[in-house]
Structure 1
Amino acid sequence: MGTDIRAERDQQRLAQLRASLSTEFEAQSARLTELTADTGDPGEAHTRAALIAATRQSLGQLGDALRRIAEGRYGSCERCATAIPPERLAVLPHARFCVPCQRRQG
């Protein structure tokens, strides 16, 4: 019975995470749309380009995390396949590697 309750809690946690990541993905998509609108101000071009690059990177990370959730691979290190600690995922929900592998990835 304890295993069933734990599995149900894990499923609820993943559903909440999926909803949170989806909301963030939508917000970042809207931000990217705003950033790519040409304001005609050449003084903002460099800053705008940096913001666009950062937003695209964030969208990629969020999309990858959502895909891993859908495929049932979320929370497992892509290099060594061990479980990524929940504390790491709480801080960095799009983490692809455990800390030791991330350090080696460098």
Structure 2
Amino acid sequence: MSVDIKVSDQGWLAGLRASLSEDFAVQTARLKELTEISDDTGDPGEAHNRAAMLAATRHNLEQIGAALRRIADGGYGRCEKCAKPIPVERLEVLPHARFCVPCQQRHNR
């Protein structure tokens, strides 16, 4: 079921915006916490895990921020490659989706 977000339920979109904003705040707090940790145990595995968590958190913030910008500018829910509507079911599972499934599959190749 493809739905044009511009004509879909605005309550759903408002709820999504609130949820993404909350996720953004949580991820921002996590990033701050991770960058303030200065306990160097000398364990290279722990340093590697911390670096991976920092990278993942920054990536999450980038994706959430981009989704919030697309909501604000009216482009949310449209594939960035083919401009077709992204199915609502995909957006419910992956709210920061930029591409429809076929375009995502081509993008990953």
Query: How does the TM-score come out when normalised to structure 1?
Result: 0.89
Q: Secondary structure at the match of 2:84?
A: coil
Is 1:28 the counterpart of 2:27? The answer is yes
Higher helix proportion (structure 1 or 2): 1
Deviations 1:8-56 (A, max 9, x none): x621111100000000000000001111112232322111000000000
User: 2:66: which partner in 1?
Assistant: 64
* 2:50 matched residue in structure 1: 48
How many residues are aligned here? 100
TM-score by length of 2: 0.87
Letter in 2 for 1:17: L
**Structure 1 position 39 matched with structure 2 position 35:** no
Which structure 2 residues correspond to residues 1-106 of structure 1 after superposition, within 5 A? Answer: 7=7, 10-37=9-36, 38-43=38-43, 44-106=46-108
Q: CA RMSD in A?
A: 1.4
The more displaced of 67-76 and 35-44 is 35-44
Identity percentage over the alignment? Answer: 63
Question: Please, which runs of 5 or more residues in structure 2 have no aligned partner?
Answer: 1-6
Structure 1: gaps of 5 or more residues: 1-6
- Taking the aligned partners of 1:20 and 1:42, their CA distance within structure 2 comes to 38
More moved, 47-56 vs 32-41: 32-41
